[in-house]
Amino acid sequence: MPDLKRVHAIVHGRVQGVYYRASTKDKALSLHLTGWVRNMADGNVEFEAQGSAGNVDALVAWALLGPPDAIVNKVDTGPLSPIPTESHFEITY
């Protein structure tokens, strides 16, 4: 098993009501990542993603663009300890 990387991210901008969560999940699954994504009360979106370093970095790079109707102002990220037993990526509420 390759070394796991896990990040926490907060996506700022017009990212709610534009399929950002669903698109993030789809992209994460296509990259074979685990984790979760959710809307925040302040209008931003938060996610944690885990997998190979290259794939996690690819999701963070994608998050700067998001789906077509999103307007992303910035993405704040920070490292987290991996959760080796995590097995899926989900939308949480």
Report if residue 21 sits inside a domain.
Answer: yes
Q: What total number of domains does the chain contain?
A: 1
**Of these residues, 21, 44, 55, 73, which one is catalytic?**
21
| Cα separation, 27 vs 24, whole angstroms | 5
pLDDT in tens, the chain (93 residues): 468 999 999 999 999 999 999 999 999 999 999 999 999 999 999 999 999 999 999 999 999 999 999 999 999 999 999 999 999 999 998
No. of H helices and E strands in the chain? 2, 5
Is 14 annotated in the active site? no
pTM: 0.96
What CATH number did the domain enclosing 37 receive? 3.30.70.100
Concatenating the DSSP letter of every residue in 26-65 gives HHHHHTT-EEEEEE-TTS-EEEEEEE-HHHHHHHHHHHTT
**Of these residues, 39, 44, 55, 73, which one is catalytic?**
39
Report if residue 23 sits inside a domain.
Answer: yes
